[in-house]
Amino acid sequence: MSLKEHKIISFSKLLYHHFKPYRLRIFILTVLSFFSAILAGIGINAIIPLLTFITKQEIHSDDLITQTLKKLFLFFNIDFYIKNLLIFICLLFILKAVILFLCQFIKIKITEDYQESVRNDLFKRFINANWPYLLNQKLGHIEMVLIKNVESASAILSHIGSFIIIFVSLFIYLLVAVNISLYVSIVTMILSGIILLVLKPLINKVKKVAYAQEKINRDIAHHINENIIGMKTLKIMSVENSVISQSKVIFRRIKKMKMKAAMYKIFTGSIMQPVGLIFVCIIFVFAFRSKNFNLASFITIMYLVRQIFSYTETLQKNLLSFSFSIPYFKKIVEYRRDTKRNIELIEDMDSKKNNFEFNNSLKFNEVKFFYNSKNKVLDNISFSIKKGEMVGIIGPSGAGKTTIVDLILRLFEPLKGKILLDNQNIKKIKLSEWRQKIGYVSQDIFLKNDTILNNIQFYNDSISRKEIIEAAKKANIYNFINSLPDKFDTVIGERGILLSGGQRQRIIIARVLARKPEILILDEATSALDNESELKIQKIIAELKGKITVIIIAHRLSTVINSDRLIVIENGRIIEHDSPNNLLANKKSYFSRVYDLRE
């Protein structure tokens, strides 16, 4: 078996597996298409005796279908004449139109069902993927896959439906044509086959253009998303013109690709139409010179030839469109495969794990972690945090503070060592329950363009309004919310733009506290705030002390000064571990030196 044949078989299996849920509807579509084509074929063939009656010629056609129609009319005791024949043809084409409508409806239904199903599945897989995989994804790529790729891939299903209708119709029309004139039918089939072979190289060219266009589409989505998110920086840095220039280059590339694809498709129709017309003219010349020339038969066979060429043209266009959809389809398959490999939470496996129980301590036991072999982030880190403690983790940028947090959140797993909760490896605890019991507040604020209530509730309908109000009070934001005209129903704008930085941060804290976590992590939560807002956040933290376990990552030493203990990280190692007062008293300590420097 050649490499090309192997690829075709592999791709066919991939299509079969991917579109397996739609087999029954595709079979129904095939059956309906077959009946539709038969009705059309009989109706077209019935035009021969109809035209013979109109031209007042004697019916001497010996084709099978005409003879069968005569016997059918005779069986039902109906006159085989112009009026009845015309009614019969009209009924045939009306019934054919109804069946064709059903075929198109089924085809559209299959396509739309596929789009809905794949979008739901892909989005679910993407959301449930692990953090290392998500970190490597570019902005806008998944958005483009969900919108453009799914739409283009669904066209494959649509083309499969079209292929069925075209092949069945082409087959029936050829049978009818053979019934009228075997010679003309054979020549038509040979010529149609030659045209398809001549135009075959276009399929590979279209496929190459499609692969390039699919990639450019994702690049455009990334470019737009990236620059919209950073719009404020673009304005401040006055680089709008540079961004616009980059956009022009990308947009020009997509224009060229689209024009190429369109020209390949137009080229097919441009060739088929004149070839079909010339062929019909040649047949007319030879048929007209024949002694047995019959106008009714000639008109019918010419119509059939024209239809055969038309279906051949449509078939070629569908093949081109099918080829154009392949790269989009393959990218969906790739995303499904990658997200399956990188799934974070498997519910069946998670249900077999232990429940979250925190009674004593959270421990890091000789934990090692690095993103690549050349860059160690944490090197044999060991420490313990008792339940109810407030522990501050400080150190220079890049020391590994946020990595510690990510490990506690189970976004990453230690490459060596263990993280223990009450001496139980946290890997054995249900991930879903773990995330519910740990509250996380970072400097990156994520707020929806929605009401304050919905931002605090944040997709968790089990949190009552009473619990939301209590959380808002704990977060020292309740009085502010109550002063607003719409109170908790106030819409705060995109990413909370209508609120100050401190107000946004306190809403985030209220969101976390509403879930009643047992461990609260504050990761540089005050770094972007003014002094007044920071004092309000510090007051919130002070009131939580002793009630829940609090872990604070901070550069601002004022945020961690009231902690029970401080852990100082440098170059992935713990260099100091003591109470703030003891570390301040030791003038050689990192904390004391940095504190004096800040003062």
- Both tokens of 537, joined, read 């956040």
**CA pair distance 286, 301, nearest whole angstrom:** 13
Q: Which residue has the higher pLDDT, 247 or 316?
A: 247
pLDDT at 492: 86
pLDDT tens-digit profile of 121-144?
888 888 888 888 888 887 778 888
**CA pair distance 70, 72, nearest whole angstrom:** 5
- Residues 404, 410, 412, CA angle at the centre, nearest 5°? 70
Pick from 206, 120, 153: which is nearest to 328 by CA? 153
pLDDT at 296: 58
pLDDT at 419: 92
The identity of residue 40, as a single letter, is A
Backbone angles phi, psi at 386, to 5 degrees: -80, 155
**CA pair distance 405, 485, nearest whole angstrom:** 38
Q: Compute the mean pLDDT over every residue in the chain, rounded to the nearest whole number.
A: 78
Domains, in order of start, for the chain: 3-341 (1.20.1560.10), 361-598 (3.40.50.300)
Distances (CA, A) of 538 to 290, 477, 503: 103, 13, 14
- Both tokens of 376, joined, read 């160690």
DSSP code string of 114-152: HHHHHHHHHHHHHHTB-HHHHHTPPTTHHHHIIIIIHHH
- Both tokens of 368, joined, read 């090692």
Percent of all residues in the chain with a pLDDT value above 90, rounded to a whole number: 3
pLDDT score of 312 more than 80:
no
Q: To the nearest 10°, report the CA torsion of 219, 223, 229, 231.
A: 180
Residue 219 makes CB contacts below 8 A (sequence gap 6+) with 250
Q: Are 390 and 567 in contact (CB under 8 A)?
A: no
By CB neighbour count within 10 A (0-12 exposed, 13-18 middle, 19+ buried), where does 498 fall?
middle
Percent of all residues in the chain with a pLDDT value above 70, rounded to a whole number: 77
Strand order in the sheet with 573-578: 438-442, 519-523, 549-553, 390-394, 565-570, 573-578
What's the whole-number mean pLDDT along residues 227-231?
74
- Residues 414, 420, 423, CA angle at the centre, nearest 5°? 150
pLDDT at 60: 47
Backbone angles phi, psi at 477, to 5 degrees: -125, -5
Least confident range of 275-279, 401-405, 459-463: 275-279
- Both tokens of 221, joined, read 């989505």
DSSP code string of 15-67: HHHHTGGGHHHHHHHHHHHHHHHHHHHHHHHTHHHHHHHHTT-------HHHH
pLDDT tens-digit profile of 416-451?
999 999 989 998 888 888 888 998 888 777 888 889
What's the whole-number mean pLDDT along residues 164-193?
70
Which pLDDT band holds residue 280 (cuts at 50, 70, 90)?
low
Q: Are 33 and 20 in contact (CB under 8 A)?
A: no
- Spell 534-572 as b/e; 16+ CB within 10 A means b: bebbbebbeebeeebbbbbbbbbbebbbebbbbbbbeeb
Q: Which residue has the higher pLDDT, 546 or 411?
A: 411
Least confident range of 14-23, 51-60, 157-166, 182-191: 51-60
pLDDT tens-digit profile of 340-351?
888 886 665 667
- Both tokens of 224, joined, read 């737009």
**CA pair distance 470, 242, nearest whole angstrom:** 49
Q: Are 266 and 316 in contact (CB under 8 A)?
A: no
**CA pair distance 106, 22, nearest whole angstrom:** 10
pLDDT tens-digit profile of 514-524?
888 889 998 87
**CA pair distance 160, 319, nearest whole angstrom:** 10
- Both tokens of 268, joined, read 């097919």
pLDDT at 421: 92
pLDDT score of 284 more than 70:
no
pLDDT tens-digit profile of 25-84?
878 877 887 777 777 767 766 666 666 666 555 544 555 666 777 777 777 777 777 777
Q: Are 99 and 35 in contact (CB under 8 A)?
A: yes
Pick from 165, 162, 145, 150: which is nearest to 114 by CA? 150
